[in-house]
Structure 1
Amino acid sequence: MVKNALQAQLLKAGLVDKQKAKKLSKQAAHEKRTGDSNEAEMKAKIAQEQQEKQARDQAIEQEKKALLQEKELKAAIVQMINQHKIGQTDGDSVYQFIDQNKIKKVYINQQIYNALVAGSLVVAKDNDSYAFLPKPLADRMNSKMEGFIIVNNSEKNEQITEEEDPYAAYVIPDDLMW
């Protein structure tokens, strides 16, 4: 006689015989009486799965926090650009620079042009347009997050020194007549 519906189905399917079914039912009854079941293994396995799930959840949470911090930082930098950009830049001088492999041209006044060439001002991306910012502010922004500063001529001015001058070996004649 089979005590379990599953055992009856297995017997009908021919997957187990009567002796095997009897042995399994006796083993189940013995485990029930003595408490020697696989509960300890199952509890350990469940605990391990919970720890793994917790670790995955923490990793996802860390990623979300990092994305949120990056968004906040971008918003703060955009706000700094809007607050500190130089207004009244319209003029007759043309300043050209490269932005994403495209040559861009802006019309600015001569004072802004001279400051850009000297390196005391930089060009920063301001949504769809460009803003002119003081160099110290640009350095602070660049230390926090790169990608907003497009033109920084002070770096170019610092790179070329007298020791690295490519024309240092050429002598300029004193008596050159034009």
Structure 2
Amino acid sequence: MAKSLQEQMLEMGLVNQKKAKKNAKELKKSAHLKRTGSEDAPEDTQASAEASRKAKAERDRELNRQKEAEAQQKAISAQIRQLIQTNTVECDGDIKYNFLHDKKVKQMYVNQAVWDRLSRGQLAIILFEQTRQGPTYKVVPLPVAEKIRQRAADHYILIAESAGEEMDEDDPYAAYQIPDDLMW
């Protein structure tokens, strides 16, 4: 009977028993991988695992950035709310003060002193909160309005413009002053 190549190499002393077993094991392993169709599987799984770890780490970083931004926004809105609550000017009165918000005329009832300061631009009207019934407005001093504007530039703040500072030279009614107590 003919001897196998492995047996022949063992007799000649080219390989030893240990190497022969190792080669046989590798041959069986490669034959099995070819049959099952999952050649190079360990390398692919390691690469895909590494790629999925990197993707998960990136998603986690993005999620953390979003959470930090939300927390920052909550902190800013809490600061604005506290500024408004602590610095609100009491203005209960019977004089109607009209102003624009979102292209709609809104009104607020104030007393005479607050009305005068609002019309001169010394006080500001700020959106306090949005409810189902509609927005709630508060009156605050001008420095507080500027602090709020620094924290949130898009927050609604109304400051009356000072009229009368710039006069047109050709205005025929420039000599006639508008009285302070004139209400429309």
Q: TM-score, normalised by structure 2?
A: 0.63
Cα separation, 1, equivalents of 2:72 and 2:105? 33
C-alpha change, 1:152 and 1:173, in structure 2 (3 Å) is closer
Superposed, 1:58-97 pairs within 5 Å as 58-87=61-90, 89-97=91-99
Secondary structure (helix, strand or coil) at the match of 2:153 reads: coil
Cα separation, 1, equivalents of 2:174 and 2:110? 38
Q: Which amino acid aligns with 2:96?
A: V
Q: Which amino acid aligns with 1:132?
A: V
Cα separation, 1, equivalents of 2:29 and 2:174? 111
Corresponding residue number in structure 2 for 1:157: 162
**Aligned residue pair count:** 140
* Aligned partners of 1:81 and 1:131 also within 8 Å: yes
Corresponding residue number in structure 1 for 2:143: 136
C-alpha change, 1:30 and 1:85, in structure 2 (3 Å) is closer
* Aligned partners of 1:138 and 1:149 also within 8 Å: no
Cα separation, 1, equivalents of 2:70 and 2:173? 57
* Aligned partners of 1:99 and 1:150 also within 8 Å: no
Structure 1: where are the runs of 5+ without partners?
A: 1-24
Cα separation, 1, equivalents of 2:117 and 2:92? 14
CA shift, 1:54, in A, is 0.8
Larger Cα-atom Rg: 2
CA shift, 1:85, in A, is 0.2
Corresponding residue number in structure 1 for 2:127: 125
Structure 2: where are the runs of 5+ without partners?
A: 1-27, 130-134, 176-184
Corresponding residue number in structure 2 for 1:51: 54
Cα separation, 1, equivalents of 2:124 and 2:61? 41
Among 108, 111, 119, the residue aligned to 2:110: 108
* Aligned partners of 2:145 and 2:157 also within 8 Å: no
Identity %: 24
Deviation string, structure 1 residues 48-102 (Cα, Å, up to 9, x no partner): 2210111012101211221122122112211211111012x12232210012232
Q: CA RMSD in A?
A: 3.1
Cα separation, 2, equivalents of 1:102 and 1:30? 75
Q: TM-score, normalised by structure 1?
A: 0.65
CA shift, 1:43, in A, is 1.2
Deviation string, structure 1 residues 18-42 (Cα, Å, up to 9, x no partner): xxxxxxx7734489xxxx9442343
